[in-house]
Amino acid sequence: MPETTRAGIAGRLTALRVEMSTRGLDALIVPRFDAHQGEYIAPHDMRLAFVTGFTGSAGVAIVTGDSVRLFVDGRYTVQAQNQCPAGLIDRDHLFENPPEVWLGGVAEPGWSVGYDAMLLPPAWVARFEAAADGVGAELTPVDGNPVDAVWHDQPSEPAGLISAFPLQFAGVSPTDKRAELIKTMEEGGIDLLVDTQPDNISWLLNVRGGDVAFNPMPLSFFLLEREGEGHWFVNAANFEDGLKDTLPGWLTVHPKDAFLKVLNDKLRTGARVLADPDFSPAAVSQAVIAAGAEPVARRSPVTLAKAHKNAAELEGIRACHLQDAVAWVEFSAWLQETVPARAAAGDPVSEYEAEEKILECRKGRPGFLSESFRTISCAGGNAAMCHYAADPKASAPVLPSTCYLMDSGGQYETGTTDATRSYTFGTLPEGYREAYTAVFRALIALATLRFPKGTQGHHIDAICRRPLWDLGLDYDHGTGHGIGHRLSVHEQPQRIGKPQSPVDLACGMVMSIEPGHYKAGHYGIRIENLFEIVEAKDGFLEFANLTWIPIQTDALLLTQLTAAETTWVDRYHAEVEALLEPYCVGETADWLHDACKPLASGRATWRKVG
């Protein structure tokens, strides 16, 4: 990335404004998105970071002739404040004061507001258009991105190796998946399906890649005609040897940059073309309308099909979570022993060293391939930033007097993992015990919930938050997200959170439950397990645990736990111990036994804390 000093950012903004003026633009929308509207993007697509210095995974900026307004959600409030120079970059909340509302308040009649139609989805464009129209301004798609025009050392587009994903792990062939998609298209009267989400395409075609860090999928586009012909737009030069020969005969491979041209060639007057309004470029819907075809703004059927894991996928997911748990136990045993010892010796463990340690532990597990996201390793007040990233050269020390949080996951041959644990080593900050106990109870509240079919994520979010709300506490992030099968660690469409999520939770979905609490400048707490949704004998649904990592209990206020909560954690730890004992030896095994001692016995667990 380019330098993030005040002078560096100021220079880039000056160059960008000159480019905007040349093009007759009064404002420019700069989203965090790439052409696939993904959460994780390649360095080539980090335009928002180039313009503002902000490197978080969600946000958008609007650049005018005399101001820059950056919009981020609550996860990134502190990060944006730290990364974006005051006076150059103004900050706002992405949801409390949406960017289109702000634009409507500052734009003037006759303004031309530019945007790249490959980087904004139709739903976003519609909101910005309404705001611009309301004040007599015009939203203008640009020909070539203005940021790219002034980014002279912009990294090259990614070129990761693309390989086949074995049928033994995928469970279903691309041809069988296509057959189900065609049925859905026929039922909905869809003539052409457009899918631009790399994880959807990778799942459908049983391929994996390496274009973007942590995400084992190639960046590509896909079209499926109702007659059965498929078109994959991807850099075939990156195929592993023999891959092309394994692809189904109904699939034609095109250069990636031929996507819009072939799309236009396939469009005809009156044809019904389905594209996701939230996860496809606006350029797609604009091309459909221009050709006289009918856009169908609906979630891709691939998205929901992918979310319902088949038996082979679930078997692989369970297996890799067991291996990942062993790595977590080895790390936790090391952490609890090393933090006090190294601090006493005047050589404290650093956040980044701890991040490297859990990676080392994972590398020793069968089937491990890579991290599933940049590990969030944070001590003290840094843990109050939900997506904090430790500086390899200057990360904070992990001391017995500080609280520590780690959110980390792995990509394995058979699946994807994600978990969070909060650790303490000594005297606790004021209010920590109460908050930690509430977060602990929140996890149990949702993990033990039984719910009827037809339940959606926003229906049950408050059940998890209730123990925190009772104390006047809350957290500004979702409660749960979907998990991919050796794909994206944050998978659509299922969600648990405050915003409406019109997706029925169903058997085979894999989700996180991750309540937390964050006190800015002091500490952060989060406990996260993954679960698969299963059907009980009476037809109700429930969560079946996938994550087998001990949860620290000696920071709890035991008198605030119900008998049922105590029973839950004791049973959980008994199962953790039974599952992991065969894989642990020596001091790691000793630590596991101590960490899993039952609360009901009255014995202390983990390290004694004040």
Question: Using one digit for the tens of pLDDT, what is the confidence trace for 68-125?
Answer: 999 998 778 888 888 999 999 999 998 889 999 999 999 999 999 999 999 999 999 9
Contact 306, 199 (CB under 8 A): yes
Here the tokens at position 606 are 């983990």
Q: Of the candidates 557, 550, 528, 552, which has an alpha carbon nearest to the alpha carbon of residue 446?
A: 528
Tokens of 583: 């894989």
Query: CA–CA separation, 112 vs 514, rounded Å?
Result: 43
The per-residue pLDDT for range 229-274, each reduced to its tens digit, is 999 999 999 999 999 999 999 999 999 999 999 999 999 999 999 9
pLDDT digits (tens, 9 = 90+) for 449-480: 999 999 999 999 999 999 999 999 999 899 99
Look at residue 604 and tell me whether its pLDDT is greater than 80. no
- Provide the mean pLDDT of the chain: 95
* Count of CA atoms in the C-beta half-sphere (13 A) of 100: 17
Q: What is the DSSP string of 316-364?
A: HHHHHHHHHHHHHHHHHHHHHHHHHHHHHTT-PEEHHHHHHHHHHHHHT
Q: Give the span between the Cα atoms of 20 and 208, in whole angstroms.
A: 38
Report the C-alpha gap between 413 and 390 in whole angstroms: 27
Q: What is the pLDDT of residue 386?
A: 84
Position 3 scores a pLDDT of: 54
Q: What is the pLDDT of residues 562-587, one digit of tens each?
A: 999 999 999 999 999 999 999 999 99
- Whether 549 and 328 have beta carbons less than 8 Å apart is answered as yes
> Tokens representing 112?
């031309």
Residue 606: per-residue pLDDT? 53
Find the farthest-apart pair of alpha carbons in the chain and give their distance in angstroms, rounded.
75
* Per-residue pLDDT tens digits for 495-547: 999 999 999 999 999 999 999 999 999 999 999 999 999 999 999 999 999 99
Cβ atoms of 449 and 496 within 8 Å: the answer is no
Please state the rounded mean pLDDT for residues 326-355: 97
Residue 602 has a pLDDT of 53
For residue 262, CA distances in Å to 231, 257, 265, 284, 556 come to 9, 10, 5, 11, 60
Structure tokens given for 330: 């080895």
